[in-house]
Amino acid sequence: MSSNMLTYAKTLLIKVSFDPYLFKRELQKSTLYLMPHEYLALKQWIKNELSLQVQNPKALIYFLD
């Protein structure tokens, strides 16, 4: 099940990547339902993959600081 939650978090972050506020909010919420190692994997995925796909690069400022 946890793998499904990681996939869900990735899908959701892609969908809200246009809005920095929503992106930050959903990233914070993901800490509630992901295991610590999954959250680290999500952060790595954001740095490697999502930064290339994001619709609004300012949305990543919250994460990359």
What pLDDT digit, counting tens, does each position of 16-45 carry? 888 888 888 998 899 899 999 999 999 888
Please list, in sequence order, all residues whose beta carbon lies within 8 angstroms of the beta carbon of residue 35, skipping any fewer than 6 positions away.
2
pTM for the whole structure:
0.75
Percent of the chain exceeding pLDDT 90 equals 31
pLDDT of residue 21: 85
Mean pLDDT of the chain: 80
pLDDT of residue 5: 92
Angle at 12 (CA atoms; ends 6, 13), nearest 5 degrees:
90
Q: Which residue has the higher pLDDT, 36 or 3?
A: 36
Burial of 64 (0-12, 13-18, 19+ CB in 10 A): exposed
For the chain, domain boundaries: 2-64
